[in-house]
Structures are given as structure tokens and as C-alpha cells.
Structure 1
Amino acid sequence: MADRCFRITVVAACPFPARRGTPIRVERLTEAFQDLGNDVELVTYHIGQDEYPMAFPIHRVFGELKPGTIAPGPTVAKLMRYDPAMVRLLKRRLLARHPDLIYAHHFEGLLVALAARGRRMVPIVYDAHTMLASELPTYQSGPMKAASCRFGAFMDRALPSRADHVVTVTEDIRTALVERHGFDPDKVTVAMNGVEVDEFAPILRDEVEPDTLVYTGTLSRYQGFGDLLTSFSIARETCPQLRLKVYTNGDFDSLGRQAEALGIRGSIDVEPDTFQDLPDRLARGAIAVLPRSVCDGIPQKLLNYMAAGMPVVAYRGSAKVIEHEANGLVAENGDTEAFAQYILRLVNDPENAERLGANARDKVLGTMNWQAAARTCQGIFDGIAGG
């Protein structure tokens, strides 16, 4: 229990709940705020994958939950319809509740919070999950990539500066804001993601399915799954018994055609992604793969892999808490040949794979948890709203 508790309105312009990074951080961190004794509510979209009891009240645009999801990234529906509706909803909540502070997730959440607050003297804490200069180009192609990078850099500098404090999920984002954009270092704090370690039993190597690679989560372009297919095809030339198990709620059709062209579609199993099944699935996998190159934040799937004690092969851009050869194997971004060779190393050396997986689990035990992140944020709340 915190010494001083606050009325907090959390803003999340995303599907909720959903099994991907942003909604997971929203859910777990909001629960942890509540556990510290704060009076917390959430303002979010009307769309979500599952409905189950939450410890905090949820206010949705357009009323009740509509089962479904939305692809990551900017869309016309979100920017022109959902977000303006969230502004109106948040204004009503501010009038009805008079919170001590607003906790806004991601850029759209910050935009909504700024628009709804207006001239009210309500502090805003901005939770920065990524940087737009690197994220926006992943949704574009051709000449639009460079233009979106420049626009993203402008937004990275202009928008977070209007918050009273910035919380970042990684040191990379904090460094970019402070060194590249001139933010006051005293107003930018790292509160890294947690992981439900207790949900993931350590892997027993004699129970895993040998020669099985596991990938979980979305299939958006920025995840680098196309590079994974290339590496998988290279590895199968040496080890044809390899199988890739993909647990996702994304559309696999276009990637399936790429796999067909590479001659590997028959070696890939695609199944729906659910958190309830995830621990058992990870416990049976031999190797976890993380092919994302561009990532300012930290992929939640990486922490899940590590909590399960899985040996991980990752590109450097997303290997935030992986130390090469100590608790995983890290390839340079986009080097599909090296990625394939690291897969083969783990297949051919199960003892080393077990060592790396055990070290990965040790890395997250006791340090990567939502309670620690919430306590860090609580100190920020004391500083900006404690008076």
C-alpha cells in the first residue's frame, strides 16, 4: 500500500483487453496501480478480444464491449471516429470524477488526454511504448517511409513535451528523448514491463518437442515475420525435420503464400493465440524466435519466452534484455543467414540451449514484474500530484 493514494484515470486508445504488448501493459500496470491502493479507472475503446472481470472500472466509447481487434498502427477509423469519441468520453469522466492525474498510454492516448484536459489543472503522465520516428515507417513503403520518419521525429519531440512526466518502457526510449530531443532527464523515467513468471513453469528439456521453433503474437509487417520465413527455409536445408509453430490471431494468408513460394508451408503450424494456452505451448517448444529488427520498446513475447526458460534467437533491435551467448543468441538486424545458423546451433546443442533458457528465466525472476514498475510510477505520482 502506498503512503499517498490517488484518483487516476488511465487512457488507452487501443483494443482492450488484447494479447499484445500495449494492451497487456495497460492491463497489468493498471492492476498494479490499484493494488497499491489507488482509485483507478480506465477509458478505452469499445473493442477487445475477451471480457473477464477486472479489478478496476472500464469506460468504453460507444458503450459495451464488441469482440474483435484492431491492427496496430494509425487507421482512419481510429483517428477520425474512435479517438474523438474518447475525447468526449474522457471530458465527461474528468467532470464527474476530478482525478488527481491522467495516465495516458501511447501517442494516441496522449493526444486524447491533451485534447480532453484542455485548461484543467490535471497533470498528465505519458507512458511511452515506442518512438514514432521508427514505428511509423514500418507501416509505409517507398517515398512515404522517409516522410513518415521525419513526421514521426517531429511528433516524438513535440507531443511528449506537453506531458508533466514521461514514463518509458526501455532505457533506449529515455535516451532518445533526453539526448536527441533535449528532454529534462528528471522528467523521464524508465518503468520496464513485467511478466507473469509464476504462470510459466520452467521447461523440462525431456518433455519438449524436438526441432520445434515457436513464434507468438501479431503478424504486422514491423514484426519481421517475412525475415523469419527466410531464415526458417535456410535452416531447413540443413535440418529438414524443423517445424515452426505460429500462435497468432493475425491473418496468415499473405505470409502463407510467401511460405509456399519458399517451399516451407507444410512445415508451419498456425493456431489461434490465447494466454491460457501459452504457458503449455512454450513449455513444449524447443526454441523461441523473435525476428523483429526495429523496436524501441520491449516485446512482451520476449519476456514470456524468457519466463518460460526458452532459449531465444532474436535480432538485436528487439533483444532488449538478451545478452548474446549468456541468456540467448542475438543476430544483427536483417541478417537472415546468421539467424538461421543460430537456430541450427541450438538444435544441434541441446545442452547449451538448456543453459541459455535457464539463464533467461533467471534474468526475469524477481526483477521484471509489474509491481516494481507500479512502485516506480507511484514515486512520480507523489512528485507531480502529491501536493
Structure 2
Amino acid sequence: MSRPYRIAMVAACPFPYPRGTPVRILRMAEALVARGNEVHVVTYHHGDMNEPTPFPVHRIADVKTYRKLSPGPTYQKLLLIDPMLARKLRTVVREHDIDLIHAHHYEGLLVAAAARRATKHPIVYDAHTLLESELPFYKLGLPASWKRGIGRRIDGWLPRKAEHVIAVTDRIRSHLVRYAGLSPDHVSKVQNGVESAHFAAAMNGTRWRDDSAERRVVYAGNLSAYQGIELLLHAFAGACKQRRDLKLVLVTGSRFDAYQELARALGIRDRIEIVQGGFERLPEEFGRAHLAVNPRTECDGIPQKLLNYMAAGLPVLSFAGSAKNIDHGRNGWIVKDHDIPGFATAILHLLARPKLAAELGARARALVLEKSTWEQTAINTEAVYEKVLAARAGGTAGNRNAGGGR
């Protein structure tokens, strides 16, 4: 990079917190600071307050009626929390001589666009997903078709508010170029990294010892509806009909209440272990697991859990819609979306073939060791900053669409 940058990073979410968006923000900010940049994270009033950060975190005033940790928009967030965040962002930008605003996810971009009316700073938008596919999973009191349509319109309009867009996958990048009319020169792919050293301990676990009394299938992440937990429970129940030694381990910060009735009806509640834990607990649980599962069927971004599984050397079974970075039969196993019997069969297939499973896991870890580091994420992000600020200094417009207009 030509010089260190002063960045206001917008986290319209609990922060820090062990799920996809907050994790990307935290690790990206840490890597940018490690390379000499100055990062100020501007965020909500809540999160994991005990996790230290090597950068300042600026929070809005406490809102005692809002403690939601799960993802997704709410009317309280949009009408109260996010306007408070925009005011905080304006203050941070003015007081710390910020170079540019890096806004994560759609609510972060809304906040940045509102604040920019007063500050005029350039915005880099970090697109983690597309709302057309994600919004229907959230309970907003609207029909799913309406939510999908609203998401499609936002996907085509809001990213144009930024000078440059960072997309976490090629799929998001291609969609924004094609359907939002963004110039390819103003949309860059910057993939997530993963803490490979943290997960190295999982390689010394007990997963392939012959004396293991059970075969542990692990899922690590939140239990929101879009994660496909119901599909997983049905598939696991199907596998349990063939093997009596299976255990489904859910490592999560979420409550299992919404799925208790289904698990009992399927006759598998006694086969499910709930491990309340976050990032620090993952190597231990991954080291004891024989198979990792990713039951999400729609994901335009890349599930961080997938990279974590791969870094731990676990064989990964995933539905196709979220199987980013997986080459079927080489570094993981893919099943057609919503194919519950196929997912159950794949669980049995991989558990019955420990040599194949171990080979899949080893190749998966090798891939992320080579290509998925947070330092590389920071380097690629700095290149975007340099491009945006050079364009601003030269007096050129930022995020032009393919036709040349904003």
C-alpha cells in the first residue's frame, strides 16, 4: 500500500459476536491494523464486550429494549438503532480525520449513505450476501414473495450508493455487475480468511480412533431458519435409522427451543448434544467430530463455518447452494439442495469410509492454508482503498454503472 489508511468500519450488528458478518468485520479490521492501518469500528451498543480488540470500538448509546443477537432486520433496528448509528458514524468521521467509510452488509451501507450526506466521504460497500435470497427467511410480517421482491429491488439500487463494492464471492460480484448495472471495474472480490493456526489443534483430536463409541456429526453456527436446521434434523433422523451410534453435536450460541418439538417427533432428541460455546470451543469439538455438516441451501456469500470446518481438516458435507470452495469428491461432499434422503445417505457414506473422509479433510485444509488468510484479505482490501482514494484525488467519479451514470 502507498500509505496507511484511516478507516471508519461500519458494523450494523452486535460486535464482536461469533457469527458470519461480525467475524468478517473483526478479522478484517485486525488484519488491517496489523498492517499499519488505523481502523475505527462503529457499531451497536451490544456484543461480546469481553473480547479485546486492537482498534477502538465506538458504540451507540445503550438501548435497553434491544438485545437481539441473531441476524436479520427488524423495524426497531431500521427506525431507531440504525439512525443512532449514522449519527455516531458522523461523529467518528469528523473527530478522527477518516479517509473513507467501509460499510458492511446492507444495513451498514444504509447507515454510511445517511452519514455521508454531511461528511461527503467515499464509501466502500462490503457485500456479504444478496437480499433477494436472504430476506425471505426473516419474519417481517410480509409474504415471502414480497420480501424476495423487495430484496431484489434493494440489490439493484442500494449498492450504487458506494464508490466501490467488495463482494465476498464471484457469484455476488457477477450478480451486481449484471443486475445492478455496476461497472466491473468498481466491484472487487475479496474473500474471507480463516484462522488456520487456531484450528490446527483439531488435527490432534480423537475422530478416527477405532475405540470411539460414537460417530459425531458436528454443526457449528447459529440456529436461524436460513441455516437449514430443519433439513439437517430430518436428514440426521434418516441416518439414525441405519446406525445407532450417531450423535449430532450443535456448537452454537443460539437456543434450541424452536427445534425441540421437531427433534422429539423425529425420535432423535436423545441423539443431539447442544454445546453452548463460541470460537474458542470449536477446535475441541472439531477434534472429536467425524463429519462436519453445512445444511444451508441458499447462500450467495461464503459461510464462515465452511472455512472453519476445512481449516480443521474435517470432511465436509454440504448442500449445493452454499458449497463454496468445495470440489465434490475431492475436498468435500455435495448433495443437491433440499434432498433430505440424499443428505442422510451421504452422512452414512462418509462415516462408513474413514479413509475417504480423512482424505477429503486433508485436501480441504490444504486449500484454505494456501488461499484463505486474513492477511491476504487485508492486502486485497487495501488495494480497493487505494483505488477509491486515488479516484477521489483525481476528481473522477466513483461507482459508475455500466452506462456511465449514478
The two structures have a TM-score, normalised by structure 2, of 0.91
Alignment of 1:1-387 (within 5 A): 2-62=1-61, 69-140=68-139, 144-201=143-200, 202-203=203-204, 205-207=207-209, 209=212, 210-386=214-390, 387=393
Contact 2:93-2:119 within 8 A present in 1 as well = no
Structure 2 residue matching 1:327: 3-state secondary structure: coil
The residue type equivalent to 1:340 in the other structure is A
Shift in Å, 1:68:
6.0
1:300-340 superposed Cα distances (whole Å, 9 cap, x missing partner): 11000000000011001111011111111100110011111
| Count of residue pairs the alignment pairs up | 386
Give me the whole-angstrom Cα distance separating, in 2, the residues matched to 1:139 and 1:353.
35
Contact 1:19-1:275 within 8 A present in 2 as well = yes
Give me the whole-angstrom Cα distance separating, in 2, the residues matched to 1:86 and 1:142.
25
Contact 1:217-1:273 within 8 A present in 2 as well = no
Give me the whole-angstrom Cα distance separating, in 2, the residues matched to 1:172 and 1:351.
33
The residue type equivalent to 1:109 in the other structure is G
Give me the whole-angstrom Cα distance separating, in 2, the residues matched to 1:261 and 1:141.
28
Contact 2:2-2:386 within 8 A present in 1 as well = no
Shift in Å, 1:181:
2.4
The residue type equivalent to 2:127 in the other structure is A
Give me the whole-angstrom Cα distance separating, in 1, the residues matched to 2:140 and 2:74.
16
Structure 2 residue matching 1:276: 3-state secondary structure: helix
Give me the whole-angstrom Cα distance separating, in 1, the residues matched to 2:350 and 2:160.
45
Structure 2 residue matching 1:366: 3-state secondary structure: helix
Shift in Å, 1:169:
0.8
Cα–Cα, structure 1 residues 256 and 63, in superposed 2: closer, same or farther, change >3 Å? closer
Matched residues, percent identical?
44
Contact 1:207-1:284 within 8 A present in 2 as well = no
Give me the whole-angstrom Cα distance separating, in 2, the residues matched to 1:334 and 1:320.
17
The residue type equivalent to 1:292 in the other structure is R
Unaligned runs of 5+ in 1: none
Shift in Å, 1:364:
0.4
Contact 2:102-2:124 within 8 A present in 1 as well = yes
Shift in Å, 1:233:
0.5
Deviant stretches of 4+, over 4 Å = 63-69, 140-143, 207-210
Cα–Cα, structure 1 residues 104 and 143, in superposed 2: closer, same or farther, change >3 Å? closer
Give me the whole-angstrom Cα distance separating, in 2, the residues matched to 1:65 and 1:362.
45
Cα–Cα, structure 1 residues 247 and 347, in superposed 2: closer, same or farther, change >3 Å? same
The two structures have a TM-score, normalised by structure 1, of 0.96
Shift in Å, 1:76:
2.3
Higher mean C-alpha displacement, 131-140 vs 204-213: 204-213
Shift in Å, 1:273:
2.0
The alignment's C-alpha RMSD in Å is: 1.9
Cα–Cα, structure 1 residues 374 and 48, in superposed 2: closer, same or farther, change >3 Å? same
Contact 1:18-1:69 within 8 A present in 2 as well = no
1:206-257 superposed Cα distances (whole Å, 9 cap, x missing partner): 4595411001110000000000000000001111211101111112112111
Contact 2:90-2:118 within 8 A present in 1 as well = no
Give me the whole-angstrom Cα distance separating, in 2, the residues matched to 1:70 and 1:207.
38
Shift in Å, 1:92:
1.3
